[in-house]
Chain A
Amino acid sequence: MAQEWKDVTGEFIRSTNSLKLGSLLTDEKFGLFEAMSAIEVMDPKMDAGMMCNKNLCKVSSASEAMSRGLLPLHLETRDIIGVSDELLSCLCTWLDGHSLAQTVLTCLYLHTVPSIKTPALAGICRAALKCSEILNDIVGSSSCYEEEDFVTCTYGYDLDAGMSCGKIVATLREEVDRRGKGESSPEERALVERLNFWKQLLDFLNKVFHFEKSNLESLKSDIESLRKSIEEMSKTISLGTQVVPKDGIRQMVGFEYMINQRLLASSPPRFITIKDRADSCSYLTTVLSHLEWLPEIGHVTTLSGVVKYFVDFARLSPCVLSRSCLFHVFHYRAKFLGEASFEKLVRQEVRKFSNPISFFGCFSSMEKLNGILDDFLESTAICVLDYIHTLCHNKGRQRRKLKALLKDLSLLYSKAEGYDKILHTLLSSSDSSADHHHSYSCYVLFLIIEVMIKYLGLGWELDLYTIHEAHYVYCYLEYLYSWLKQSVIRAHEQCTSGEAFEKRLVKRNRNMKKKKLERNHQHLLQMAEVNQLVSQAFVKSFEGFAVQGKLTQFLERQYDDELIRFKRRFASFDIAVPIPLDVTSYPTLRLIRSRTPKGHEVSLFQEALNHFTAVKKVMDKLDSPRGSVFSELEKVVKMNCVQLRLLINGHCSDSVRAPVLDFSICHNIPFMKIS
């Protein structure tokens, strides 16, 4: 459609002059909200097309670079080392959250691999492409990333490298062997090291992507040799051609950093800095230390073990690659480590926890029972998988996902309650001693409480709570631990009645063997008791601090309201079971401070000290193996006792500095620091 443009600048100016200052002339449908996202032209930060932001590329494609002779296809050893190191830096920058277009794909050689004449360079480029493809697939399929973690877009580029993994590894090995022969200069050796590295990396990533449980152990040595390679490479970075800054623009042979700028969305221009080569090596070493968790997953056999494993892993705030690899392997082909079904894991765990009669083999012919049983196991498995998936996300996103998970778990709980009722009536109709009151629901309750405790714990890990909030956080934690004990007690009752039922069955049926299963109810109860006492101790300590005036700066804030804060903090816990702690029953610190005369904080501290002493008593009785976790706990409890004794004796009684909670020794339970 041909357009006939007529200049109306004069008319326009005259017309706009008649508008009132500050008024806008718009259509009815126009919205300021949408207009907020308009790109402001001639603003360097927003306008990607401005002269100063304009594509300062010398070439617009790799083929153009080749035809203009700007892309050397025969490279000296020094140059190959430089390109390899720069590619590695680009890879690390990509893993750090930037786009492929601005990192790995700025290497012109990757766009034109078949034309490369030097086999070493060709091998490295193919390996880099293939590694990028596999990394993209692993992270993409695991879906443990958010937009701030990783960019999976490949911008239409084909990362396939035209060769299978095995072939690339073989060509690299050939090249290593060829160059390894005869006398070698330090540069030759450095290049061989890099060829080795890329070969090992590609092999490792391929093993993870096409995972087989039998390969797990071998991953340990793979990670170790990768680490050694990186160490060797970091020593010889200087041997490669370096990036030369010319006219303020980074120049590197074979790289054109702005070549893909036009592919990026027309949002504000983002110029990224590629990581320094030495930094990339240390970044990779950190990634490898997270990946070291990968072979350990083979030692986990129970569901509770799995949950503990991922909770411990998540605490490290690991990188997106390790989180994705771990989840990929854990969930391979929708089976646990590619082999066992998740329902089976859940079944084992529930059997250990509450020994439901419905699991007994004598009922395996009852269709209705089996239907209910299968549905319960399937639904529970989905929730548990969701929990593990959430733990594999970055920490900042976990709380919101846990809130959604709690809603799902709440639905699961009501389902489990319903199933318990049905099964109880069904089984007790044939045998009045059959007890299935809480068999399924107590396990789901246990899961719910665990997730809630994790949710509160994340608040500490993410530094979300101000110090005076510790009071209600520990109030709620104490409440949750009492519910936890309830669920374990219920489970224990079910187990005992189940065992009695089993005994009678064995008597009746000689063929049926009685299977003895180790239960850890006692240990669970003791740990819950320990945590409950600790929470009570902190509650009393903070009440003491409030009375003493150490929290005045927080309690006196003009628009602060503890009850509103309480409601908002625990809004995520608004589910049916456990019944949310009633905000009106919460004793605010302000109230306590006004009610308690000054000087009486000593009795509060004494109460706290009593609770901690009681903790010590319970821990002495703990009969499970004492690991490092136990000794950390002991140490922290001791330090808190010492601190409280000092406070009772009047130490720092005049100080109005707020106490600090230190989680450095024991990640679950802090010790108080007063100054």
Chain B
Amino acid sequence: KQWYQRRVRGILNMTSALAGADFLKGLLNKLLRIEITDGRIMVGSFLCTDRDRNLIIGGTAEYWNTVEGEPRLLGLVMIPGKHIVSISVDTSDSGVASLLKAYHKAK
């Protein structure tokens, strides 16, 4: 029975692993809104990530306060994972909305 439980857990992990990678792949090139540790907000297209959540985003605009001030346009930006406070997606994009739904279903 223990062996069986381990096997199921393994399969479940694999599925969630698949779900995880697919989720991220689905988010590629979509707009992300990232809050970093010093309070700045970066908005740009998601281009690359890794296990440590180091993000590369393109066409980035940098905002200084939560109220949409005048953004600074930075272009290609790399945000170290350790400086990320929160990541948000734009659910008005239908692709993103359906991706989220699928992710939660898979869980």
Collect the chain A residues with CB atoms within 8 Å of residue B90's CB.
3-6
When the two chains form their complex, are residues B51 and A7 in contact, meaning their CB atoms are under 8 A apart? no
Whether A39 contacts B74 by the Cβ 8 Å rule is yes
Q: CB-CB contacts of A1-17 with B at 8 A, as 1s and 0s?
A: 11111111101111111
Cβ of A579 under 8 Å from chain B: no
Q: Most B CB atoms within 10 A — which of A17, A38, A39?
A: A38
Q: B17 — which chain A residues lie within 8 A by C-beta? A: 18
Cβ contact within 8 Å between A27 and B29:
yes
Q: Is A24 an interface residue (CB 8 A)?
A: yes
Query: Considering the chains assembled together, what is the distance between the CA atoms of A650 and B96 in angstroms?
Result: 86
For B47, give its contact among A6, A9, A26, A40 (CB under 8 Å): A26
Kindly identify, within residues 188 to 242 of chain A, every residue whose CB is under 8 Å from any CB belonging to chain B.
Answer: none
Q: Is the CB of B75 within 8 A of A266?
A: yes
Tell me the minimal C-beta distance from A315 to chain B in angstroms. Answer: 43
How many CB-defined contacts (below 8 Å) exist between A and B? 133
Question: Which residues of chain B are within 8 angstroms of A37 by Cβ–Cβ distance?
Answer: 76
Identify A5's interface contact among B38, B50, B51, B88, CB under 8 A: B88
Contact of B25 among A1, A23, A25, A51 (CB under 8 A): A25
Q: Which of B7-42 contact A (CB under 8 A)?
A: 16-17, 19-21, 23-25, 28-29, 31, 33, 36-38, 40, 42
Which residues of B42-84 are within 8 A (CB) of A?
42, 47-53, 56, 62, 64, 72-80, 83-84
Partner of A16, one of B47, B49, B76: B49
Smallest distance from the beta carbon of B56 to chain A beta carbons, Å? 6
Decide: A8 and B74 in contact? CB cutoff 8 A.
no
Partner of A27, one of B16, B28, B86, B87: B28
Q: Does A457 contact B (CB under 8 A)?
A: no
**Complex contact A1–B78 (CB within 8 A):** no
- Residue A500 at the B interface, CB < 8 A? no
A11 contacts across to B, CB distance below 8 A: 23, 100, 103
Q: Which residues of A contact B48 (CB under 8 A)?
A: 24-27, 30, 35
* Residue A20 interfacial (CB < 8 Å): yes
Interface pair B38/A8, CB less than 8 Å apart: no
Q: Does A506 contact B (CB under 8 A)?
A: no
Q: Does A563 contact B (CB under 8 A)?
A: no
- Which one of A7, A38, A41, A266 has the highest number of Cβ atoms from chain B below 10 Å of its Cβ? A41
User: Could you tell me if A42 and B87 are in contact, using CB atoms closer than 8 angstroms?
Assistant: no
A582 part of interface (Cβ distance < 8 Å): no
Given B20, B42, B88, B89, which contacts A15 in the complex, CB threshold below 8 Å? B20
Let me know if A50 is at the binding interface, CB within 8 A.
Answer: yes
Residue of B nearest to A34 (CB): B76
State how many angstroms separate the Cβ of B85 from the closest Cβ of chain A. 8
B56/A38 in contact, CB under 8 A: yes
- B77–A41 CB distance below 8 A: yes
- Bound: A408/B6 CA distance, A: 76
Contact call A14/B20, Cβ cutoff below 8 A: yes
Chain B CB within 8 A of A49 CB: yes
Q: Is the CB of A6 within 8 A of B100?
A: yes
Q: Whose C-beta in chain A lies nearest to the C-beta of B103?
A: A11
**Residues on B with beta carbons closer than 8 Å to the beta carbon of A49:** 40, 62, 64, 72, 74
Closest to B13 in A: A18
Cβ 8 A contact of A24, one of B42, B50, B86:
B50
- Asked if B2 lies at the interface with its beta carbon under 8 angstroms from chain A, I say no
Q: How far is the CA of A42 from the CA of B74 in the complex (A)?
A: 13
Q: Does A35 lie within 8 Å of B56, measured CB to CB?
A: yes
| Contact, CB under 8 Å: B51 / A23 | yes
B91 at interface by CB-CB < 8 Å: yes
Complex contacts, A2 vs chain B, CB 8 Å: 92
Check A41/B50 contact, CB under 8 A, given A11-B23, A16-B20: no
Query: Could you tell me if A4 and B91 are in contact, using CB atoms closer than 8 angstroms?
Result: yes
* A41-B83 in contact (CB<8A): yes
Interface string of A421-458 (1 = CB under 8 A from B): 00000000000000000000000000000000000000
Residue of B nearest to A54 (CB): B64
Question: A8 contacts B100, CB within 8 Å?
Answer: yes
- Give CA–CA (A16, B25) in the complex, Å: 11
Q: Please state if B31 and A35 are interface contacts (CB–CB under 8 Å).
A: no
Are the CB atoms of A3 and B31 closer together than 8 Å?
yes
Give, as a whole number of angstroms, the nearest-CB distance from B68 to chain A.
10
Would A7 and B88 count as touching, CB distance under 8 A?
yes
Do B51 and A20 touch (CB < 8 A)? yes
A16→B53 CA distance, assembly (Å): 6
* A16 CB contacts on chain B under 8 angstroms: 20, 24, 49-53
In whole angstroms, how far apart are the Cα atoms of A281 and B48 in the complex? 52
A25–chain B nearest beta-carbon distance, Å: 5
Give the CA-CA distance A401 to B75 in the complex, in Å. 34
Expressed in whole angstroms, the minimum distance between the Cβ of B60 and any Cβ of chain A is: 8
Closest to B40 in A: A49
Q: Are A266 and B72 in contact (CB under 8 A)?
A: yes
A249 sits at the interface (CB 8 A)? no
Do residues A12 and B53 form an inter-chain contact, with CB atoms below 8 A?
yes
List the B side residues contacting A18 at CB < 8 Å: 16-17, 20-21
Q: Is A21 interfacial (CB-CB < 8 Å)?
A: yes
A19 at the interface (CB under 8 A from B): yes
Question: Which chain A residues border B36 with CB–CB below 8 Å?
Answer: 41-42
**Interface CB pairs A-B, < 8 A, 8:** A6-B89, A19-B21, A19-B50, A26-B47, A27-B29, A35-B47, A35-B56, A266-B75
Q: For the A-B complex with A25-B21, A41-B36 known, give 5 more contacts whose Cβ atoms are closer than 8 Å.
A: A5-B88, A15-B21, A15-B23, A18-B16, A37-B76
Chain A residues close to B by CB (< 8 Å)? 1-9, 11-27, 30, 34-35, 37-42, 49-51, 262, 266
What 5 A-B pairs have minimum CB-CB distances, sorted nearest first? A15-B20, A18-B20, A18-B17, A5-B88, A38-B76
